[in-house]
Amino acid sequence: MGKTEYSIDRGLFSGVYPGSWAVPQESGVRLSQSRTSLRVGVPRETFFQENRVALSPDMAAVLVANGHQVYVEHEAGAGARYADREYSEVGAVICYRVEDVFKQADVIVKVSPLSQEEILLLRDNQTIISAVNMGSLSAEYLQQLIRRNITSIGFEFYRSADGSLPLVQMMSEIAGVSSIHIASELLTGNNNGQGILLGGVTGIPPAEITIIGAGTVGHNAAQTAMGMGARVRIIDEEIYKLRRIEKELGFKLYTSVAQPRYIREAVATSDVVIGAAYREGQRAPMVVTEDMVREMREGSVIIDVAIDQGGCIETSRMTTHDRPTFIKHGVIHYCVPNIASRVARTASLAISNVLGPLLVKIGDNGGLDNLLRFNEGLKEGIFVYRRHLTKKNLASLFGMTMNYRDIELLIATM
């Protein structure tokens, strides 16, 4: 870090390049001697049909301007329509082998969890920032991270200063909006749907949509559906969430408490059911049973947005972008886990705009361990640290309580 004498001003994003969202603004601020230079690696995503990339070229430029090194695997941004040239022009190094990315970088940023092949490339004491995907997480995956002394930060756990989950919320917003556009298309006769228009027209009633879950996905799905003219009902187990969403979206929205009788009646009369039930840091709750699905009209649509967390509809099973739907009991099911990958450019920018500032902050504070001492959101984000699980719920879920340690105790022993 001796050669890096100047940094971006803390404002970071006050300027705009043509066609970009985030741009460094240079200023002559002297760097603290506690500051450290990070080596950040961006591997190409290998998860099936994952088109997002964890860092955009604009955010790579921010990191380089802050004195950090960025290593990007060849064609890592191709799915989001970013060329290697866009990364190299801002100072990132293009690596033609994934092995070189893992060899050079101390911090690896990804969208999907590590594959088995990538786990074998890990070096002792590396930091991994990626999604956790509770629906596919296994004890063996966690044990391998522990054995390799990896620090793991999960999208689903990392909190911002206001206590929110920024990465979850960003992807949930995209998934919520996208789910209604997908539902509108699936309802058409061309897709074995009922052949109805989501918003209806004069003299013809609109589609009935039930959304299970009043969180970020549910809010954005409801807002989009109402904007298209659909009749919307939201069901959630928490009254305060229903009250909040009524206040935000207006009383044209119908709400119900998540009791089996209400759920059954709503599902049976719906043209579209959006599964958006979510429990923080846990698998999604099973809310809609197979018997309820049997009562739906033929050609109705189910979109289980919670499928990456295990799904909240009993008849759901994971599908792909190539074959996104299947029909069970006459109902069209859409259960693609990475809905946001349909709009990979937008989703990549959203992820990058969260991860970039976090990486800058880690560097400015002399490394991850130093930042952990006072950044509560980052503490929440970590689930493997110093050869231990730091999430009690994960330890209980996978029978790994012997591997659990409170992160505050681990930090205190540094």
Residue type, 304: D
Is the same domain home to 286 and 248?
yes
In a domain, 361, yes or no: yes
The pair of three-digit structure tokens given for residue 304, joined into one six-digit string: 């289980």
CA distances 395 to 125, 273, 324, 401, Å, are 21, 33, 33, 5
User: In total, how many domains does the chain have?
Assistant: 2
Amino acid residing at 333: H
Looking at the fold, whether 151 and 268 belong to one and the same domain comes out as: no
Q: Give the C-alpha distances (Å, rounded to integers) separating 40 from 110, 117, 156, 367.
A: 11, 19, 21, 12
Q: Would you say 59 and 352 are in contact if contact means Cβ atoms under 8 Å apart?
A: yes
220 inside domain: yes
Cβ neighbourhood burial of 92 (10 Å; 0-12, 13-18, 19+): buried
* 264 domain residue, yes or no: yes
Closest CA to 134 of 110, 114, 108, 154: 154
- One domain, residues 136 and 80: yes
Residue 407: inside a domain, yes or no?
Answer: yes
Query: Are residues 355 and 330 part of one domain?
Result: no
- Tell me the C-alpha distance between 169 and 175, whole Å: 10
**Is residue 1 included in any domain, yes or no?**
no
Given 287, 308, 336, the domain boundary residue is 336
- Residue 120 CA to residue 126 CA, distance in Å, equals 13
Q: Are residues 247 and 198 in the same domain?
A: yes
* Residues 261, 114 share a domain: no
Decide if 239 is inside a domain.
yes
> What pLDDT is stored for residue 281 in this prediction?
64
Q: What is the dihedral of CA 377, 380, 383, 389, to 10 degrees?
A: 140
**Do 370 and 316 fall within a single domain?**
no
pLDDT of 15: 34
Q: Which helix (H) or strand (E) holds 344?
A: helix 344-364
The answer to whether residue 155 is domain-embedded is yes
pLDDT at 251: 63
Q: Could you give the CA distance from residue 296 to residue 272 in angstroms, rounded to a whole number?
A: 9
**CA atoms within 13 A of residue 385's CA, in its CB half-sphere:** 25
Low-confidence ranges of the chain (pLDDT < 70): 1-33, 251, 281
- What is the 3-class SS of 142-209, one letter each residue? HHHHHHCCCEEEECCCCCCCCCCCHHHHHHHHHHHHHHHHHHHHHCCHHHCCCCCCCCCECCECCCEE
Among the listed residues 226, 114, 164, 181, the one whose alpha carbon sits nearest the alpha carbon of residue 346? 181
Whether residue 227 is found in the same domain as residue 330: yes
Q: Tell me the residue type at 229.
A: G
Answer with the one of 306, 336, 366 that is the final residue of a domain.
Answer: 336
CATH code where residue 103 lies: 3.40.50.720
Same domain? For 173 and 308 the reply is yes
* Tens of pLDDT, residues 173-208: 999 999 999 999 999 988 889 999 999 899 999 999
Of 314, 336, 358, the residue at which a domain comes to its end is 336
Residues 66 and 149 in one domain: yes
pTM exceeding 0.75 = yes
| Token couple for 110 | 């990804």
Residues 146 and 229 reside in one and the same domain: no
365 and 318, same structural domain?
Answer: no
pLDDT score of 308: 84
Flag whether 262 is in a domain.
yes
Q: Which domain holds residue 93?
A: 6-164+343-412
